[in-house]
């Protein structure tokens, strides 16, 4: 389910940002990204995203990341090694999988991640998890 089609978009305050490769939604302690169909998320796109996040939140904010994988796209799994809990804007992540293949890919990404990475079967599960993270409570 797309974020804007969910009840969460009516309940939570957010800012929508559209980029060439996807759309993301900025909330207080986390953001949700929905990549465009067929994209390949690589270092260049990651740097564009991180620059945009730092412009909005500042350089010292820590966030959780929710990848709402409503569309089919690829990601360079090595990107997860970039995020170290002690040296990054991201302290935790969740991948929302709607297909078995996406869930299997999330298993591989979890092995590469240096930050906690939750695999979720729904956007609601991921948002509830992000809202309960000890880093923000």
Read off the tokens for 1. Answer: 């389910």
pTM, 2 dp: 0.91
Model pLDDT, residue 5: 97
CA distances from 14 to 10, 24, 47, 77, 84 (A): 10, 10, 22, 28, 26
| SS3 label, residue 6 | coil
Question: pLDDT digit string (tens) for 59-107?
Answer: 889 899 999 999 999 888 888 777 765 557 888 999 999 988 777 788 7
**Mean pLDDT throughout 105-128?**
88
Chain-centre distance of CA 2, in angstroms? 13
Model pLDDT, residue 103: 77
Instruction: Taking the CA atoms of 120, 45, 22 and 101 in sequence, report the sign of the dihedral they define.
Output: negative
Q: Identify whether the C-beta of residue 47 lies closer than 8 Å to the C-beta of residue 82.
A: no
Question: pLDDT digit string (tens) for 9-47?
Answer: 999 999 999 999 999 999 999 999 999 999 999 999 999
Residue 111 has pLDDT above 90, yes or no: no
The domains of the chain, with CATH numbers, are: 3-136 (3.30.750)
Read off the tokens for 116. Answer: 């906690």
């Amino acid at each position: 389910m797309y974020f804007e089609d969910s009840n969460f978009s009516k309940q939570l305050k957010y800012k929508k940002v559209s980029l060439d490769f996807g759309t993301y939604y900025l909330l207080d302690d986390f953001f949700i990204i929905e990549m465009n169909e067929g994209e390949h998320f690589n270092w260049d796109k990651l740097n564009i995203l991180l620059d945009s996040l730092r412009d909005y939140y500042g350089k010292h904010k820590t966030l959780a990341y929710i990848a709402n994988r409503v569309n089919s796209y690829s990601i360079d799994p090595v990107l997860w090694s970039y995020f170290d809990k002690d040296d990054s804007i991201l302290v935790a992540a969740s991948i929302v999988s709607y297909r078995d293949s996406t869930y299997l890919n999330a298993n591989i990404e979890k092995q590469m991640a240096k930050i906690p990475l939750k695999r979720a079967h729904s956007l609601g599960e991921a948002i509830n998890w992000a809202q309960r993270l000890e880093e923000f409570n």
